[in-house]
Chain A
Amino acid sequence: MIFYVLKRLVLVIPVVLAVAVVCFLLVHITPGDPLVAVLPPDASAELAAQLRKAYGFDRPLPVQFGLWVWKALHGDLGTSIATGRAVLDEVSRAVGNTVTLAIFAAMLGFVSGGTFGFLAGYFRDRWIDRAVTTIAIAGVSMPHYWLGMVLVIVFSVMLGWLPAVGAGPGGWAWDWAHFRHMILPAVTMSVIPMGIVTRTVRALVGDLLSQEFVLALRAKGLSEQRIFVHVVKNTAPTAIAVMGLQLGYLLGGSILIETVFSWPGTGFLLNSAIFQRDLPLLQGTILVLALFFVVLNLLVDVVQAAIDPRIKRS
Chain B
Amino acid sequence: MSETDVLTPTADVGGPQQPLLEVKGLSKHFAVGGSMFGKRSTVRAVDDVNFAVHKGEVLGIVGESGCGKSTTARLIIGLIEPDAGEIILDGELVGSTVSLRDMRRAVQMVFQDSYASLNPRLTIEDTIAFGPTVHGLAADKAHARARDLLAKVGLDPAQFAQRYPHEMSGGQRQRINIARALALAPRLVILDEAVSALDKSVEAQVLNLLIDLKDEFGLTYLFISHDLNVVRFISDKVVVMYLGEIVEAGPVEALFTDARHPYTRALLAAMPSHDPDARTQEAPIAGDPPNPIDPPPGCRFHTRCPFAEAVCSENAPRLTATGTAGHSTACHMVEPASGHTKAPAPAPAEQEIVECPT
Which of A's residues lie within 8 Å of B, judged by CB? Answer: 7, 10
Contacts and interface: CB of A to CB of B under 8 A. Distances in A.
Interface residues of B, number: 2
3 contacts: A7-B36, A7-B37, A10-B36
Interface in B33-47: 36-37
B260 to A, nearest CB: 45
A7 B37 CA distance: 9
A5 to B, nearest CB: 14
B110 to A, nearest CB: 35
A167 to B, nearest CB: 46
A49 B36 CA distance: 49
B262 to A, nearest CB: 38
A7 B36 CA distance: 9
Interface in B1-51: 36-37
Q: Which 3 A-B pairs have the closest CB atoms?
A: A7-B36, A7-B37, A10-B36
A7 B38 CA distance: 12
Contacts of B36: 7, 10
Nearest to B35: A7
Contacts of B37: 7
A301 B195 CA distance: 46
A10 B36 CA distance: 11
A10 B37 CA distance: 12
Contacts of A7: 36-37
B32 to A, nearest CB: 15
Contacts of A10: 36
Nearest to A6: B37
A236 B349 CA distance: 75
A25 to B, nearest CB: 29
Interface string B57-81: 0000000000000000000000000
B34 to A, nearest CB: 15
B9 to A, nearest CB: 48
A14 to B, nearest CB: 13
A9 to B, nearest CB: 13
A48 B89 CA distance: 76
B282 to A, nearest CB: 36
A13 to B, nearest CB: 13
Interface string B327-348: 0000000000000000000000
A6 to B, nearest CB: 10
Nearest to A11: B36
A92 B37 CA distance: 38
